[in-house]
């Protein structure tokens, strides 16, 4: 007899589940009082990520409170630049800061330090895994090379990634060299996560928006494919969810050419369009607007119903189209789950 699969893994294997499995991007975070309490024990955000006991605890908090179908390990996409020898720090209220990096210096990025520098993240996964309920899937993740590169080049977040785009067009050899180094470190990191117990891997390309097709092909598709190939070559066959946020009409190309198992959609994607252009059996994760979750009330129910209806009959994981915001009341998350699970 086959062992019944965890709902999230079943959907990633191409099954349709009603109700769909559900988890939320940034589900461990400041909207939870218990997160803020643990967070205050660490001197800064980076140290928090590198303290397995604390990171494991906040990974588990949303599972205990809401019973989500997946736990996502607590870490950040900006740990890879640290492994590559860059300084990263977080300024409260301002977000991440890095020393701006010139892609021409890409050969100076340190290779081979991933296992050593990011070992605590593996430890977080090992601590979390045995504490999860039987039906809960453990997700590992990394940022995609382009998104990580934007933070490295800009020295932090930026409005339109202008400097990064200029660098990508003006010096393709250096820029692609930088992306390859990031991709190789990322592949090694993801392999380590799978070996430490991650059952699904997710690649966050949060700043894939607004790129002309030739650049999208070079900086999004090619490095993503490189990571997927390396992970597969290492014998790791866990499902990989790709999230090229804002890819728009280039989502189908990304789905066909990167080798990812499933696609995470952003808030702007029209489900009817996506259904008509994506392969039928491709699992999708989508894509409630986080501001609807903040708004709550009748509009939250009707938006949940619209997405459930739009994706019915397809392998679908319910999620947000971007991370949950710190101002979301816990009661709204409970309402969301009750609405999704009422279709049971
Ligand atoms: C771009 C990006 C980052 N980090 C991440 C992305 C990609 C997803 C996205 O687009 O949102 C991914 C991320 N960051 C975090 C997780 C943990 C797992 C989860 O619960 O989803 C994940 C998957 C924790 C975090 N990472 C961060 C927090 C908040 C910091 C805190 O608690 O002090 C959390 C819970 C900090 C962070 N980290 C980053 C930024 C821009 C910020 C500051 C934003 C803010 O202040 O809200 C970089």
What pLDDT was estimated at residue 280?
87
What pLDDT was estimated at residue 344?
60
Assigned domain for 39 exists:
yes
Domain that holds residue 325: 7-341
Pairing label, strands 200-205, 70-72: unpaired
How many A from CA of 96 to the centre of ligand 1?
A: 9
Assigned domain for 133 exists:
yes
Which of the listed residues 23, 25, 26, 206 should we mutate to test ligand 1's pocket, taking the one with most ligand atoms within 8 A of CB?
26
Assigned domain for 2 exists:
no
Overall pTM surpassing 0.95 (yes/no):
yes
What pLDDT was estimated at residue 235?
98
Residue pLDDT, tens place only, 297-322: 999 999 999 999 999 999 999 999 99
Assigned domain for 125 exists:
yes
* 115: three-class secondary structure by DSSP: helix
0.90 surpassed by complex ipTM: yes
* 219: three-class secondary structure by DSSP: helix
Distance CA 103, CA 189 (A): 22
Which atom of ligand 1 approaches the CA of 27 most closely? 20
| H-run or E-run covering 208 | none
Assigned domain for 1 exists:
no
Domain CATH for 307:
3.20.20.210
240 token code pair: 């990989």
From 147, 126, 136, select the one nearest 211 (Cα to Cα).
147
Nearest-CA residue for atom 26 of ligand 1 = 76
Tally of domains within the chain: 1
Assigned domain for 92 exists:
yes
Assigned domain for 196 exists:
yes
Residue pLDDT, tens place only, 54-80: 999 999 999 999 999 999 999 999 999
264 token code pair: 């995470």
CB 264 within 8 A of CB 241: yes
Which atom of ligand 1 approaches the CA of 49 most closely? 24
Assigned domain for 68 exists:
yes
How many A from CA of 344 to the centre of ligand 1?
A: 32
Q: Around Cβ 178, how many Cβ atoms within 10 Å?
A: 28
| pLDDT beneath 70, residues of the chain | 1-4, 343-344
């Amino acid at each position: 007899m086959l062992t019944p699969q965890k709902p999230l893994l079943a959907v990633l294997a191409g099954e349709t589940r009603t109700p769909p499995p559900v988890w939320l991007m940034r589900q461990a975070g400041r909207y939870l009082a218990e997160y803020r309490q643990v967070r205050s024990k660490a001197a800064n955000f980076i140290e928090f990520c590198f303290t397995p006991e604390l990171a494991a605890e906040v990974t588990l908090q949303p599972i205990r409170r809401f019973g989500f179908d997946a736990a996502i390990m607590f870490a950040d996409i900006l740990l890879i630049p640290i492994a590559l020898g860059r300084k990263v720090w977080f300024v409260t209220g301002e977000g991440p800061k890095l020393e701006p990096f010139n892609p021409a210096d890409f050969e100076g990025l340190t290779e081979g330090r991933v296992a050593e520098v990011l070992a605590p993240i593996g430890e977080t996964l090992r601590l979390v895994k045995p504490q999860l309920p039987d039906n809960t899937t453990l997700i590992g993740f990394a940022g995609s090379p382009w998104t990580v590169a934007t933070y490295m080049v800009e020295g932090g977040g930026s409005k339109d990634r202008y400097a990064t785009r200029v660098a990508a067009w003006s010096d393709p050899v250096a820029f692609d060299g930088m992306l390859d180094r990031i991709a190789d470190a990322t592949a090694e990191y993801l392999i380590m996560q799978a070996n430490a117990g991650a059952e699904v891997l997710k690649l966050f390309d949060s700043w894939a928006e607004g790129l002309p097709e030739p650049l999208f092909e070079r900086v999004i598709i090619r490095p993503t494919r490189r990571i997927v190939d390396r992970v597969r070559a290492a014998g790791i066959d866990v499902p990989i969810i790709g999230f090229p946020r804002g890819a728009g009409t280039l989502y189908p190309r990304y789905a066909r050419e990167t080798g990812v198992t499933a696609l995470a959609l952003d808030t702007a994607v029209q489900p009817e369009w996506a259904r008509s252009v994506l392969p039928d059996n491709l699992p999708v994760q989508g894509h409630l607007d986080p501001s609807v979750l903040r708004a709550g009330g009748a509009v939250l129910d009707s938006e949940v119903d619209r997405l459930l209806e739009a994706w019915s009959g397809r392998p679908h994981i319910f999620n947000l189209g971007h991370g949950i915001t710190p101002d979301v009341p816990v009661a709204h998350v409970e309402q969301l789950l009750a609405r999704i699970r009422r279709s049971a």
